[in-house]
């Protein structure tokens, strides 16, 4: 495979910028973006509301992929 076709193929795998900047919950452009340890991005308010809605003893999971997350692992972007 030559460099040009390799580059073109890698470009096809990348999500469009619009989707990459989209909140995983509200689907709007992220406002005050944060990401989970699994790499999904959310508006700070969306993920904060989600975390606050979970009972104290329940295990939190990513609302997109359902992997376990912990509130202290949220990363400001």
Domains in the chain with CATH codes: 20-76 (3.30.40.10)
What pLDDT is stored for residue 29 in this prediction? 96
From edge to edge, which strands make up the β-sheet containing 33-35?
41-43, 33-35, 75-76
- Please write the tens of the pLDDT for every residue from 6-59: 545 544 555 444 457 999 999 999 999 999 888 899 999 999 999 889 887 778
Q: What is the reported pLDDT for 49?
A: 94
Residue 77 has pLDDT above 70, yes or no: no
Cα–Cα distance for residue pair 44/35, rounded to 1 Å: 9
pLDDT at res. 16: 44
């Amino acid at each position: 495979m030559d460099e040009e076709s390799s580059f073109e193929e890698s470009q096809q795998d990348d999500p469009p910028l619009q989707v990459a900047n989209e909140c995983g919950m509200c689907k709007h452009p992220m406002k005050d973006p944060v990401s989970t340890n699994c790499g999904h991005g959310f508006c700070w308010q969306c993920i904060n509301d989600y975390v606050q809605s979970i009972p104290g003893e329940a295990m939190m999971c990513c609302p997109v992929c359902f992997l376990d997350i912990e509130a202290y692992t949220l990363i400001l972007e």
